[in-house]
Structure 1
């Protein structure tokens, strides 16, 4: 049961930003996205990955690595689209 809860939590938190990313890509509007929030979030996710490696917990490593990827793409979009307005 612990593995099911942990895996479900990892999947849900990992995909949480995907709708925001898709909206940003579609609309090319990043006016309401905070670069500072993304920086803090990516730092926190990176620490979770490090923690996962220290504990040997692949669900933590994989889910947070995916979340880092999504948020790095979002950060790239913020950088790219913020200068177009």
Structure 2
């Protein structure tokens, strides 16, 4: 298998993995079972992968992790909006 195709498939799968959680949170407006620390650590790690992708000039790494950062930022925004004070 071509290594670029492998990278793209892996990136797509990991990038879309949080979308069902985001959809559920938006639908139910419930974030009680979500750890904000986990989201921030994940965003940090994904952002470092984006940086790494730029350093290595690897478009699959950049695009998939940048998309995942956006999804997780959306989840964090939902956490801030829907948490019980």
User: Which bracket does the TM-score occupy, shorter chain normalised?
Assistant: over 0.9
- Aligned pairs for 1:17-36 (under 5 A) are 17-36=18-37
CA RMSD of aligned residues (A): 0.9
Q: Distance in 1 between matches of 2:59 and 2:12?
A: 12
Q: Distance in 2 between matches of 1:60 and 1:2?
A: 12
Tell me the CA shift for residue 83 of structure 1: 3.0
SS in 2 for 1:31: coil
Alignment size in residue pairs:
84
Q: Which residue of 1 aligns with 2:82?
A: 81
Q: Distance in 2 between matches of 1:11 and 1:76?
A: 22
SS in 2 for 1:77: helix
Q: TM-score, normalised by structure 1?
A: 0.96
> Structure 1 unaligned runs (5+)?
none
> Structure 2 unaligned runs (5+)?
none
Which 4+ runs in 1 deviate beyond 6 A?
none
